[in-house]
């Protein structure tokens, strides 16, 4: 108990003295009760599954951010619907309905806010946390649909035409 109390007095950003360190804790997926299937999928790159799901949306364009390597920005008709971080912490930032965003933050520890985007409309999902992959894919579709709903009639027509006509690359 004294070890934990000593760590609480350490200033943020500094390291505790070696004799005041807390004993090792179990891995986070064991501590929060993640299923064995989730751990297997995590080892097989959840980020690549999400990346494929985002790229499969009609009219979705992926562009790396030159000033921040490891960030992929997904847009539809020049409007951002997802930001995938694959460098340090694997996470995805998605547009979300404000009411649903609050519910998700209460339901999952892996849903929060980590960027300059408005926290009412954008959520950050840590891919190593407790959010199921199917839920992340559903939220990615929700984000895409929210952005598409705000497109102009001309942009919607262009998007529909692009979805029908296969692009030659």
Torsion over CA of 129, 132, 134 and 137, rounded to 10 degrees? -20
CA-closest candidate to residue 34, choices 141, 109, 120 = 109
Whether residue 80 lies inside any domain: the answer is yes
- CA dist 52 and 159 (Å) reads 19
Whether residue 8 lies inside any domain: the answer is no
- CA dist 9 and 20 (Å) reads 10
pLDDT recorded at residue 148: 96
Whether residue 6 lies inside any domain: the answer is no
- The two most distant CA atoms of the chain are separated, in Å, by 67
Q: What is the average per-residue pLDDT within 26-37?
A: 43
SS3 (DSSP) at 160: helix
Residue 119 has pLDDT above 60, yes or no: yes
Whether residue 115 lies inside any domain: the answer is yes
In total, how many domains does the chain have? Answer: 1
pLDDT recorded at residue 70: 86
Residue 98's CB is within 10 A of a number of other CB atoms, namely 11
Q: What is the average per-residue pLDDT within 118-126?
A: 92
- For residue 155, give the CATH number of its domain: 3.90.1150.30
pLDDT recorded at residue 29: 41
Whether residue 13 lies inside any domain: the answer is no
pLDDT recorded at residue 39: 45
Whether residue 82 lies inside any domain: the answer is yes
Q: Look up the domain containing 128 and give its range.
A: 20-164
Q: What mean pLDDT value characterizes the chain?
A: 78
- CA dist 90 and 42 (Å) reads 11
Phi, psi (rounded to 5 degrees) for 159 = -65, -40
Whether residue 2 lies inside any domain: the answer is no
pTM over 0.75: no
SS3 (DSSP) at 102: helix
């Amino acid at each position: 108990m004294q070890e934990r109390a000593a760590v609480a007095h350490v200033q943020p950003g500094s390291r505790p003295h070696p004799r005041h360190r807390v004993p090792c804790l179990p891995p986070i997926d064991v501590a929060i009760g993640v299923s064995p299937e989730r751990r297997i999928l995590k080892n097989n790159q959840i980020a690549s599954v999400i990346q494929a799901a985002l790229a499969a949306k009609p009219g979705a364009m992926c562009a790396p951010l030159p000033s921040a390597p490891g960030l992929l920005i997904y847009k539809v008709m020049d409007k951002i619907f997802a930001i995938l971080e694959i460098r340090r912490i694997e996470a995805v930032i998605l547009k979300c309905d404000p009411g649903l965003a609050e519910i998700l933050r209460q339901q999952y520890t892996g849903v929060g806010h980590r960027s300059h985007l408005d926290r009412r409309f954008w959520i950050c999902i840590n891919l190593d946390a407790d959010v199921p992959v199917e839920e992340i894919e559903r939220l990615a579709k929700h984000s895409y649909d929210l952005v598409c709903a705000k497109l102009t009639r001309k942009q919607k027509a262009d998007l529909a035409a692009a979805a029908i006509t296969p692009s030659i690359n």
